[in-house]
Structures are given as C-alpha cells and as structure tokens.
Structure 1
Amino acid sequence: MLSIGERIRYLRTANGLSMKELADIIGSNSAAISNYENNKNVPGGKIIILLSDCFRVSTDWILMGTTELKGPTTNKQSNVNESELTLASQINLLSKLEKRVVETVVREMIRTRHDQGEAQ
C-alpha cells in the first residue's frame, strides 16, 4: 500500500505540478511538500483538506488509500487501483530516458494486442 507521502506525490505528478506550484496552491512551501512526500512529516488536517479539494480526492484516500477517488485527478476519468498507483509512483522515480523506454514498451504491447485481436 502507498504511504501518505507517495499518494501526495502521485497526485502532484499526475497533475503536472512542481512542489512549488502545489505549495503555492495550498499556501505552503516546497520544503514542506518535500517532507510530506518523503514521509518525514505528516500533513495536518488543514493541509489534508486543502490537498483533497485541490486534487478532488477524498481525505480518506489521502490518509488511508482506502476509498475511491471523489473525481478525476486530471481531466480524464480514473479507474486506477492501488497496485497501479504503486507502479505509477515507482515509474515517477525513473529518469526521463527510462520513462520513455517504459512508455515505448507499453505502447508496443498495446499495439501488439490490438493487432492480434484484429487477426483473430
């Protein structure tokens, strides 16, 4: 299961925000965001509520990862399960080149599956 910090990092990166941008939105600073994401500090109730409102997720999801998202984390509908969130969090730790390799492999797998479906 993802930690609170990993869930915050996932939401921030999924929405294309830097730590500073998120900090500005919720009235904090980038050092605090970094400490939350690295599990050095746990955000207080006020910050949890601000994050929930910012990303349109429940406070329960941020705190426990146990409820579904209230709404999409981005402009697209999200049906992401916990293991997919963990994988996304791990992919975010890769270099840009490594991320491109992962993306290429996934796209090729999808293309191959699509091609095989047409052949049947």
Structure 2
Amino acid sequence: MSKTETPQKNPRSFVIISAFMLSLLICATSSKKLDRGVKMIYGTKLLDTDIEIFIAALSKTPVYVWSLDPLGVYYQVNSGIIVKYTPDAVRIHNEQDPQITQWYSRESNEFSINF
C-alpha cells in the first residue's frame, strides 16, 4: 500500500466491536447494580445513562420503548433502532416499518434492550 492509499474499513468488524462494547457495558453496569438490583422491565435491561443509549445506537441494538399506563403498569410503545438522541428525547426507527421514525421523551418513557 502506498502512502497516499487509505486503508479499507471493514464494516463487519465495526459491528462486532460495537456489540462487544455493548456487552461489556451491560456487564459493567449490571455488576455495579447487583447489590442494589439490576433495573429491568419484563426481563429487559433498562438503559439509564447517556453512554448506554449511545452504545445501543452505535451498535444498532434493537431497543424497546416503554411507557406507564394510568395504573402504573409498563406497556411497550414501540421497538426499533436508535437513530438519534438528545438529553431530552430519543429518535427510534420503527422495527416493523423502518421508514417510520418517531421521537420519544426520555422523561416520560423508558428504553431497554434484551440481554
């Protein structure tokens, strides 16, 4: 390879590394919370921090969106891939119809992943 050529990036290795980073993050956050209990909804791990949401977005991990009904019971609103997030909201590509994207408030919704 000459000095002017740029190395080819392998998108598959990026996905593998991203999934590995997400699994490390889940293990690290879970082990820190074991004595206090892992925060979960119906067997899925809640994404509490910006870094957890960032890694889920980076690795394109499917995310569940949950909301509370008037009786205080969680129900699944949507599922899909995180496209963008801010401190106030998360934008999700719908899992059934990827052309549909919707913003969800981080204050009134919870986000989780299978692990």
TM-score normalised by length of structure 1:
0.26
TM-score normalised by length of structure 2:
0.26
Structure richer in strand, relative to its length: 2
Structure richer in helix, relative to its length: 1
